[in-house]
Amino acid sequence: MPMHNISTDLDQALALLRAGELVGIPTETVYGLAADAADPAAVAKIFALKGRPADHPVIVHLAGREQLADWARDIPDDAWKLAEAFWPGSLTLILQRQPQVPDAVTGGQDTVGLRAPAHPLTHELLRRFGGGLAAPSANQFGHVSPTTAEHVQAEFGDRLRLILDGGPCPVGVESTIVGLTGPQPALLRPGGVPAEAIEAVLGRTLVHHEKPQTAQMRVSGLLDSHYAPRTPLLVGPLGALENEAYRRFESGERVALLHRSQMLAAVCGAECHAMPLGAEDYARALYATLRAFDGGRFDVLLLEQPPQTAEWLAVNDRVKRAASRFIG
Ligand code: TXA
Ligand code: MG
């Protein structure tokens, strides 16, 4: 696979972005597919390359809170407090947009998502760029998010002129999204910053907006699928997965078992892989592991369900979306 479009050349990245082209950028959460957020034609290229529906809003990345008022208006105190506490970092704020923010960025809505990423290379890129960079995760629509430059390369190949290489993403799941346009601050997506840390800064609890869709409801390929590997992914308790692995092996399937047991040596017929035990390590490894086991080597991936506690909220959210089905 040609790797000539992976580099650490900030000057080249700036030149491409200023010319209205796309660049893959590292962030501490996942890699983004970036374009000048003030240029609707450049933003349109993101949607074309990702195969993403045009009415989906994209996050605008900034160097820091000095730029907040360039993009948002009627900014509430809560936004300043959260930006002060967590920027640069993995927190996205949904605010009322300034009128000049292109519809291509907001999906035609009156709001805009803003975040200042903490990755040093991209922070420096944003500082020198001066404006905002619209960037969704750098993956084909619906697929697993990329956490290395090579993952981005695998998604888009030569159709992307440059991927800035910032190494593996240290957080590994997307930013936490907090909506600040309603009567109460709302957790719209759990992510890199724990909800409790946000609540501590705000001095009140976040409203949780559960999307109605659950993995259990989803019929593969029919409903909206996010963060998903292409190989079927079954999630459940270890005992049920061991039975499933054995049954599938007997019928000739190639099975991978991603577990959190320290004692599991082997399960007949399955390739066993130990996932990290801690929530942060697990989040960092999740997407890269799904990618490593995807791609045709296995007929099915079996994933032991992580603990159902607060510190695992972001991981469980992504596992739920990646899963074809829960068993056991
Ligand atoms: O960590 C991240 O947030 C990564 C990195 C690249 O920054 N970006 C990311 O972007 O996850 P994306 O496009 O894959 O997901 C962005 C989410 C979408 O679910 C989108 O609906 C939501 O942010 N979003 C963006 N702008 C919004 C807005 N104005 N109102 C509501 N939701 C918004
Ligand atoms: Mg995404």
The predicted structure's pLDDT at residue 218: 35
Pick the CATH number of 233-326 from 3.40.50.11030, 3.30.390.50, 3.40.50.2000, 3.40.50.40: 3.40.50.11030
Provide mean pLDDT across the span 132-145.
Answer: 96
Q: Residue 39: pLDDT above 60?
A: yes
Q: Residue 111: pLDDT above 80?
A: yes
How far away, in angstroms, is 96 Cα from ligand 1 center?
15
How far away, in angstroms, is 252 Cα from ligand 2 center?
34
Q: H or E stretch including 207?
A: strand 207-208
Which atom from ligand 1 is nearest to the alpha carbon of 139? 14
Q: Residue 118: pLDDT above 60?
A: yes
Please check whether the two domains, 6-214 and 233-326, share a CATH topology: no
pTM: 0.94
CA distance 150 to 132: 25
Residue pair 37/90 in contact by the 8 Å Cβ criterion: no
CA distance 228 to 226: 5
The predicted structure's pLDDT at residue 216: 36
Residue pair 195/313 in contact by the 8 Å Cβ criterion: yes
How far away, in angstroms, is 57 Cα from ligand 1 center?
7
Q: Residue 309: pLDDT above 80?
A: yes
Percent of the chain residues past pLDDT 90, beyond the cut: 87
Starting from the CA of residue 186, give the closest ligand: 1
The predicted structure's pLDDT at residue 215: 35
Q: pLDDT tens across 237-292, in order?
A: 999 999 999 999 999 999 999 999 877 767 778 999 999 999 999 999 999 999 99
Q: What is the CATH architecture assignment of 6-214?
A: Alpha-Beta Complex (3.90)
Give the residue whose CA is nearest to atom 29 of ligand 1. 112
Provide mean pLDDT across the span 143-158.
Answer: 96
Supply the mean pLDDT for the chain.
Answer: 93
Which atom from ligand 1 is nearest to the alpha carbon of 107? 29
Residue pair 31/136 in contact by the 8 Å Cβ criterion: no
**Is 92 near ligand 1, meaning CB less than 6 Å away?**
yes
Of the listed ranges 14-23, 92-101, 137-146, 209-218, the least confidently predicted one is 209-218
By most ligand atoms within 8 Å of CB, the mutation choice from 31, 59, 145 for ligand 1 is: 59
Confidence of residue 96 (pLDDT cuts 50, 70, 90): very high
The pair of structure tokens assigned to 320 is: 């739920």
The pair of structure tokens assigned to 243 is: 């039975």
Provide mean pLDDT across the span 126-131.
Answer: 98
User: Phi/psi at 200 (nearest 5 deg)?
Assistant: -65, -40
The predicted structure's pLDDT at residue 225: 58
Following DSSP, what letter does each residue of 45-105 receive, concatenated? HHHHHHT--TTS--PEE-SSGGGHHHHBSS--HHHHHHHHHH-SSSEEEEEEBPTTS-HHH
Which DSSP letter does residue 143 get? B
Provide mean pLDDT across the span 121-141.
Answer: 97
Q: pLDDT tens across 191-234, in order?
A: 999 999 999 999 999 999 765 444 333 333 334 457 899 999 99
The CB-side HSE value for 215 (13 A sphere, CA atoms) comes to: 21
Domain boundaries, the chain: 6-214, 233-326
Instruction: Name every residue whose Cβ is closer than 8 Å to that of residue 105 and which is 6 or more positions away in sequence.
Output: 37, 43, 57, 58, 60, 112, 134
Confidence of residue 236 (pLDDT cuts 50, 70, 90): very high
Starting from the CA of residue 33, give the closest ligand: 1
The predicted structure's pLDDT at residue 263: 76
Provide mean pLDDT across the span 181-195.
Answer: 96
By most ligand atoms within 8 Å of CB, the mutation choice from 27, 60, 92, 140 for ligand 1 is: 92
Q: Residue 172: pLDDT above 90?
A: yes
